[in-house]
Amino acid sequence: MSEKFTAAQWAEIEGGHEVTPEKEESYSFLKDLHESRMTKDNGSSQKLTYTDCGERMYLTLLALETMRQYPEFRILAQKYCTRTKGFEQYRIYRIMGTDLYNFIYFLVGDSSAQKKLKDPDAAIQLRSKTKLPTAAINRYISSVSQGNEPVLRTKLFLDIENALKITNTDYKNIRRGLADYAKLNLQERKLLVTRLIFAVRAKLRSSDIADDFSKFAAAKNLETTTLTDPEPTVSVPDISTGPSDIALYRYIVGSKNLAQTKRFLDHAKNNQAVSAAMLQAYMPAIKMLDDIVQAGPAYVQNLRAIHQRAKKRR
C-alpha cells in the first residue's frame, strides 16, 4: 500500500473494502486535494464560526450551480459532487472529504462537530435552532453527481437561505439570477458571476472549489470590472437574534426598541449598513458601554471579567 495515506484513510475511502493497486493509483489525486482544503484537519476549523460554515456551504453550492450551467464545466461540478456524496448522515468528520461535506458536517453533526469550531458554545446553541434541509441538499448533490437536472433547486436554495438566516443582498441576487440563468443576457451573467467571484475569493479562497471556479470564470470571460468588491474577509461571529435572546435586550435598550435592535444586529452581522432608526434603537447599549469607559479602568476591567464569564457560561 502507498505511504501517501494511512490505513485508516484508506479504510474511509474504500469503506473497509480491499484496495487494489489500480484503485490506489486512481485515488492519487486525493493527496493534492487534501493539501489545499479549507477544512483539513490542522486546526483550520477552529478559525470558523457556525455562521461562517453556513455561509461557506451556501456559497459552495452557488458556485457548483453556476458552473453547472455550462456543459464544458458541468463535469467539474459533477466530479465534485461525486466526491461529496456517500455519507449522507454527516456523522463523522472526513479528513478526505470535500469542504462541502465538512461544512455540512459542522452544521448538522452532533455537538462534537460544533466543538471543533471557533466558538463551540455559540455554535451548539445555533445548531439547536437551525433546521437545515439536509435531505434536499443530499438530493441536489446526488442529482448533480449523476449529471441530472436537480428538481426544486430554486426552493432548495431559498430554504437554505431561510434556515441559515442569510440576509446578504448580493447572495440573494445571485440565487435569484441562477433561477433564470438561461434567460440572462451576457452583461447580467457577468454581474452575477462577478458578485460570486468576490464572495469566493473572500470566503473560500483556500477551499477545494476556489481554483475550479476561478478557472471557469476566466475561461468564460465572466468577470467584469464595473463592480467594486464589497466582501469582508473577517469571520462572522455567531450572533443569535432569536426571540429568547432579543427579549433580554429589553433590559438594555427598552421594550420599544426591541424590533429595531434585532434589525440592527442582523444588519451588523451581515456587514450591511444600518439605518438611523436602527442605530437610535441600539443607542442605549452604546451609552451603557460609554458610561463604563468614562468611569475609568477599574470599571472596564470589571466589564471584561464579566464578558469572559459570560463566554464560558455560553
- Residue 242: per-residue pLDDT: 64
pLDDT at 90 over 50: yes
Contact 73, 216 (CB under 8 A): yes
pTM for the model: 0.66
How far are the Cα atoms of 8, 10, 34, 105, 158 from residue 15, in angstroms, in the given order?
10, 8, 18, 18, 34
Instruction: Name every residue whose Cβ is closer than 8 Å to that of residue 265 and which is 6 or more positions away in sequence.
Output: 239, 241, 246, 282
206 φ/ψ sector (left φ>0, alpha ψ -120 to 50, else beta): alpha
- Percentage of the chain with pLDDT > 70? 79
User: pLDDT tens, 8-27?
Assistant: 554 544 444 455 555 554 44
pLDDT at 282 over 80: yes
Run of H or E residues at 180: none
pLDDT at 46 over 70: yes
Mean pLDDT within 22-38: 49
- Residue 298: per-residue pLDDT: 83
pLDDT at 7 over 80: no
How far are the Cα atoms of 88, 94, 130, 221 from residue 85, in angstroms, in the given order?
6, 12, 22, 30
- Percentage of the chain with pLDDT > 90? 49
pLDDT at 124 over 80: yes
- The answer to which of 73-87, 123-137, 227-241 has the lowest mean pLDDT is 227-241
pLDDT at 260 over 60: yes
